[in-house]
């Protein structure tokens, strides 16, 4: 069973590009899909609930979402996005996690494919490190692993992740 790097995933881009990522870059999790496949059975993908109006977008699936093109990166909860009515919008997702550590290269590809800027800050309690990552349209701006002399004292959220 892996440790988890957990934290915040921020996405910046046009409303159209962010919506494209949400619709094409996320898959609803089916907790029994793998077992059913091993037994030779087909399962229907879980239903995604999507509600959008002129002010916001809400998206959820019963068990969260897998981020396509990553090695075990997930969004555990629903997504709530309040529009800013600016040309460039920002979506903050607080229920982000990836097994072991955030793999920057996974998000470079996503950033480039969907024409987005991505910012991730993740906490990994088990191995006592944080990650601070920023990518602009496929180019890595920052990819820092932050370690601590006294993780419990120095880290802002020492019990997150792990």
pTM: 0.91
- Residue 34 pLDDT: 56
Average pLDDT over all residues of the chain: 93
Label residue 83 by pLDDT band (50, 70, 90).
very high
- Residue 45 pLDDT: 77
Question: Model confidence over 15-69: pLDDT tens digits?
Answer: 999 999 999 999 999 876 555 555 666 777 789 999 999 999 999 999 999 999 9
- Cα dihedral sign for 91, 115, 23, 105? negative
Assess contact for 83 and 15: CB atoms under 8 A: yes
Question: Model confidence over 129-145: pLDDT tens digits?
Answer: 999 999 999 999 999 99
- Residue 36 pLDDT: 55
The torsion region of residue 3 among left (phi > 0), alpha (psi -120 to 50) and beta comes to beta
The more confidently predicted of residues 104 and 44 is: 104
Given the structure tokens 């029994």, which residue do they identify?
32
Classified as helix, coil or strand, 138 is: coil
- Residue 2 pLDDT: 87
66-94 burial, b for 16+ CB within 10 Å, e for fewer? bbeebeebbbeeebebeeeeeeebebebe
Q: What is the mean pLDDT of residues 125-129?
A: 96
């Amino acid at each position: 069973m892996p440790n988890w790097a957990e934290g915040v995933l921020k996405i910046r881009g046009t409303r159209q590009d962010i919506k494209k990522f949400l619709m094409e870059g996320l898959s609803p999790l089916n907790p029994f899909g793998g077992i059913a496949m091993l037994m030779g059975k087909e399962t229907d993908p879980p239903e995604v609930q999507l509600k959008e109006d002129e002010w916001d977008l809400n998206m959820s699936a019963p068990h969260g979402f897998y981020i396509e093109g990553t090695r075990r990166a997930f969004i555990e909860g629903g997504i709530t996005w309040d529009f800013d009515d600016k040309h460039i919008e920002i979506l903050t997702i607080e229920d982000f996690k990836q097994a072991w550590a955030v793999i920057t290269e996974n998000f470079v590809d996503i950033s480039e494919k969907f024409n987005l800027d991505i910012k991730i800050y993740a906490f990994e309690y088990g191995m006592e490190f944080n990650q601070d990552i920023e990518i602009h349209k496929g180019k890595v701006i920052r990819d820092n692993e932050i370690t601590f002399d006294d993780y419990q004292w120095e880290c802002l959220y020492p019990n997150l992740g792990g």
